[in-house]
Structure 1
């Protein structure tokens, strides 16, 4: 049975939220970036949620809702041109010479500029919706592809119902991502800005310890709520840690250009790291015949890099399975293990001289730190995504 949630007791509109067809943003089980233990999402609800709301509040807050309601008005006007009344309100007579191209009275209570009636179902910004006028006298707007709890929270904010029982003071990263999808698809950034700033600050910041899925949620949240510093940090971590492009996650409409640009930075960093590694190998090959420490370092380096798919044959773009963080970490491990072995053999001085000459790990660390991440706006202030 559908759950009914009343936001406006005098509601003229009923928003019906269909249950998600798929789990929210599940991480692929066999993705090239590796599955995460935290990739599972909560169970999908099985019933509609019906929310009583005001069309005036929806129109003022959301251009998406405004267009949906305008299309409904156009469809109703088109079907009732011979009727003197509309939902109990008398339509003013048309003024001569002041009709729209669709023959809709320009002095009507409805919008002057209206689009032609749309099909009963259409896709709007990635979310399916439809609108019908039911026996209860309300306009019904059906939303799909959105989380019902997130929709309810956002519509409470839109209607000024900000009590703690209606709008939480803090939310989890998961809940914030679900809210971000609603805000993004219905263009409600201005309406929820104050709450969004509070929620984002309370959740914290992205870090390298986040799972791949959590990092993806952070990128999307920062994009939707225009938090440039967080967006830059999250995309920087992704470009250094990921071993392939971000996958498409169900019910999370991350822009394809964002995923593409992150992977472009990843590939550029990996290519430069491989150049550094090959330079170190060439140097060690030239010295290994006369230097046991160099031979030891060369052997250990080649075995470790081969294990991480980072040497012969040199991986080709798009470097699937390889990350700059993985290469840098492997080099750190190689030099630590080799130094310990050289110390036991009494050859640590010669090893240290080679290590200082190569500067392998400092070069890779510097390269990893140089990955910039993405920014939301250009230098001239234009939105890039």
Structure 2
């Protein structure tokens, strides 16, 4: 699966995406296309991580030769094309809706990521260089520009530009980029800090956030959190967990669902054992006729509306 391509002609986003100066002596330009939005989605504020990540190939066959002028407009290194009247000076964290171009070092990319290294190694760099003298690398649609800028600052040893804390949404978007480009080792120290400051907010209820934590804790190899959130999902879900568009591994989904089925099977086994005991007359209540009343209520609650008593559900237990 290709999540990045070497652009051999000028990117169609050159005039509409701001330019972020990560490395002033950069020999590469990393292009993050603007996020796509699905108005039908019920998670509108989660769009960057919901769209375009699973099963996406790089865009090919784009023509054009225009190279945007680079004019610095603030101290953070954001640039824009002076012909675009809609560009404004603001840091990447507030510009994610327009995509982003980042001036980066190919050496830093290659050292941190085998994916980038392979792409740069086998590309015809001479023919791929644009009029600005750089190799242009365009990401597949769906990566969050803010998350990419955070990771790039970390890779280029710009610690003062890397946030000390991230909200869960941004951390999830960072995890997607890190996961796809195998960058975990390169930003492990930062990830540990981000997660430690969010640990108190890890949910115990089966929510949208819990699914995000399953993915984040897996990507950043946080075993304790991963064990806790997958256990909560297994205990509270009614079927295989949804991915929410995240590239959660199939083996994780199968693992959680297998644990869910095991828990349901154990619970039903205990309930059926109780029904068998009451039916056989094994004493269960201290008062007269209590067993009969208990058996009747238990039978009715099990049989309606899901039919859990007769016939007894097969194993594995369906959702």
Write the mapping of 1:1-385 to structure 2, written as runs, cut at 5 A.
1-21=16-36, 40-42=44-46, 47-72=98-123, 75-76=124-125, 132-144=128-140, 145-163=142-160, 166-204=161-199, 206-211=202-207, 213-250=208-245, 252-287=246-281, 291-307=288-304, 309=306, 310-321=308-319
Contact 1:158–1:192 (8 Å) recurs in 2: yes
Bigger Cα Rg: 1
Contact 1:284–1:295 (8 Å) recurs in 2: yes
Q: What is the TM-score with the length of structure 2 in the denominator?
A: 0.71
Distance, in Å, in 1 between the alignment partners of 2:45 and 2:300 is 39
Question: What is the Cα deviation at residue 4 of structure 1?
Answer: 1.3
Distance, in Å, in 1 between the alignment partners of 2:175 and 2:237 is 23
Distance, in Å, in 2 between the alignment partners of 1:133 and 1:181 is 28
**Secondary structure of 1:41's aligned partner:** helix
Change (3 A) 1:261 1:170: same
Question: What is the Cα deviation at residue 307 of structure 1?
Answer: 4.7
Distance, in Å, in 2 between the alignment partners of 1:308 and 1:137 is 69
Question: What is the Cα deviation at residue 151 of structure 1?
Answer: 0.6
**Secondary structure of 1:232's aligned partner:** helix
Question: What is the Cα deviation at residue 207 of structure 1?
Answer: 3.6
Change (3 A) 1:236 1:43: closer
Distance, in Å, in 2 between the alignment partners of 1:234 and 1:63 is 30
Aligned length in residues: 249
Q: After superposition, give the CA deviation of every residue in 1:281-337 in whole Å (9 maximum; x if it has no partner).
A: 11222339994211222222233334573433333345344xxxxxxxxxxxxxxxx
Contact 1:222–1:230 (8 Å) recurs in 2: yes
Distance, in Å, in 2 between the alignment partners of 1:195 and 1:297 is 56
Question: What is the Cα deviation at residue 277 of structure 1?
Answer: 0.7
Distance, in Å, in 2 between the alignment partners of 1:152 and 1:308 is 52
Higher relative contact order (CA 8 A, sep 6+): 2
Question: What is the Cα deviation at residue 140 of structure 1?
Answer: 0.7
Distance, in Å, in 2 between the alignment partners of 1:261 and 1:302 is 32
**Secondary structure of 1:230's aligned partner:** helix
Q: What is the TM-score with the length of structure 1 in the denominator?
A: 0.59
Change (3 A) 1:174 1:305: farther
Structure 2 unpaired stretches of 5+: 1-15, 49-95
Question: What residue number does 1:123 align with?
Answer: none
Q: After superposition, give the CA deviation of every residue in 1:232-260 in whole Å (9 maximum; x if it has no partner).
A: 1111111111111112332x111101111
Change (3 A) 1:308 1:263: farther
282-291 vs 51-60, greater mean Cα deviation: 282-291
Question: What is the Cα deviation at residue 22 of structure 1?
Answer: 5.4
Q: After superposition, give the CA deviation of every residue in 1:112-158 in whole Å (9 maximum; x if it has no partner).
A: xxxxxxxxxxxxxxxxxxxx432222111111231111011000000
Q: CA RMSD in A?
A: 2.5
Structure 1 unpaired stretches of 5+: 30-38, 77-85, 88-131, 322-385
Distance, in Å, in 2 between the alignment partners of 1:315 and 1:180 is 39
